Amino acid sequence: MIFKGSHILSVDQFTRADIEKVFTTADEMRPYAQRECITRVLNGAILGNLFFEPSTRTRISFGCAFNLLGGEVRETTEVKASSLAKGESLHDTARVLSGYSDIAVMRHPEPGSVAEYAVASRVPVINGGDGPNEHPSQALLDLYTVKLEMATRGQGIDGLRIALIGDLKNGRAVHSLCKLLGMYTKVHFKLVSPPQLAAPEEIIVALIAKGHRVEICHELEEGIHHVDILYVTRTQEERFENQEEADKYRGLFRVNQSIYTEHCEPNTVIMHPLPRDSRSAAKELDEDLNQNPNLAIFRQTDNGVLVRMALFALILDVADKVHDYVHPVTWYTAKREPVPNQ
Ligand code: NCD
């Protein structure tokens, strides 16, 4: 694909070569994200960060990624604080806001809403999550994390064995990640969920058609044997018709240190798109794993900044100019999350 000026709406847009381009660009962003030096390559550019659903990581890491490239960020964080609450259409909002910024990131509860917004936007739009549909930047940062973690074990992405656990029906991060992994070869997917929260049929059918092995499991213990990666997700309670319905699934699958020790291979990497639901009734990923060196969740969140910087640099066509605008860091900088040995 041509990144320059493009919207990023679905992972279906990418080829393997495109993904590699994002990853090599992300690698080059590490010194800036780690505050070894600063770049001002996007000095004067403005990001419109539009989040019409709750978000911590995605919103702030997109914002910080833009700031780290030298740009400014304008945020709109609630429907009720915008003119959408007065009945303005996504079309009109897009036409107006694209006069104010150079690029936009948007999260919205309706599937397809970000694509609808993009049609009317004059500036590139990145999908920050459209309801239960897709979350392309999360899938890219997840895959980038898989790549780095597997590299420490001398392995690549082809032939990966991965267990995806939890609400596979409503989890947009899972949907996008499955599609991305589908572009590699001979991946063994273990899809671990209650039958009612199974992954969408069309995703499963597409993976099988591409020659991947897909195993459906309804028991946690059976699902987490013999895999390289556990990708745990929370029940997407906000997508259920009512709370009683969501309550049925709370706490059904809980990964903790004792389950891990008993059923997983010793080096199994533990991932989660976050937030994990740490309320006592849920705890799909227990905090007793926090000291486990295979817990990659905070490396994953750090990688999100690199991947989002890469997307901005590629879309705004400055990837090869980033290093021309470098300054030293003059302030105290704290130690960062350690990077796994490569
Ligand atoms: C995910 C999302 O919003 O889809 N979070 C995120 O962006 N890191 C997963 C979730 O909310 O469970």
- Three-state SS string over 7-30 comes to CECCHHHCCHHHHHHHHHHHHHHH
In ligand 1, the atom with minimum distance to the C-alpha of 58 is 7
Q: Does the residue 338 lie in any domain?
A: no
* Structural domain includes residue 16: yes
Mark whether 203 and 65 lie in a shared domain. Answer: no
Residue 84: per-residue pLDDT: 81
**Closest ligand 1 atom, CA of 234?**
12
**What is the dihedral sign for C-alpha 106, 6, 112, 98?**
positive
Report, as an integer, the average pLDDT of 192-203. 98
- 284 plus 171 within the same structural domain: yes
Cα-to-centroid distance, 278 and ligand 1 (Å)? 14
In a domain, 332, yes or no: no
The gap from C-alpha 325 to its chain's centroid, in whole angstroms, comes to 28
What is the residue range of 211's domain? 136-298
203 vs 212: CA distance, rounded Å: 12
In a domain, 166, yes or no: yes
Distance CA 125, CA 140 (A): 16
Let me know whether 148 and 253 are in one domain.
yes
Residue 35 pLDDT level (bands cut at 50, 70, 90): very high
Distance 186 CA to ligand 1 centre (A): 27
Q: Token digits for 7? A: 């919207």
In a domain, 157, yes or no: yes
Q: Is residue 334 part of a domain?
A: no
How sure is the predictor about 342, in pLDDT bands with cuts at 50, 70 and 90? very low
Global pTM value: 0.96
Q: Which of 117, 90, 84, 107 is nearest to 172 (CA)?
A: 107
* Cα of 173 from ligand 1 centre, angstroms: 7
Domain assignment present for 289: yes
Check if the beta carbon of residue 16 is closer than 8 Å to that of residue 158.
no
Residues 179 and 198 in one domain: yes
Question: What would the pLDDT profile of 94-146 be if each residue is shown by its tens digit?
Answer: 999 999 999 999 999 999 999 999 999 999 999 999 999 999 999 999 999 99
My answer on whether 170 and 230 are in the same domain is yes
Counted domains in the chain: 2
Claim to verify: residue 94 and residue 218 sit in the same structural domain:
no
State residue 341's pLDDT score.
56
Residue 30 lies in a domain: yes
Residues 106 and 41 in one domain: yes
Helices 16-33, 136-151: axis angle to 10 degrees equals 80
30 contacts 86 by C-beta, under 8 angstroms: no
Check if 107 has its Cβ closer than 6 Å to any atom of ligand 1: no
Residue 275 Cα to ligand 1 middle (Å): 6
Average pLDDT, the chain: 96
One domain, residues 155 and 293: yes
Length of the chain: 342
Please report the atom of ligand 1 found closest to the CA of residue 304.
8
Same domain membership, residue 192 and residue 93: no
Do 154 and 274 belong together in one domain? Answer: yes
Answer yes or no: is the C-beta of 135 below 6 A from any ligand 1 atom: yes
| Residue 254's CATH number | 3.40.50.1370
pLDDT for residue 335: 83
Mean pLDDT confidence for 53-63:
95
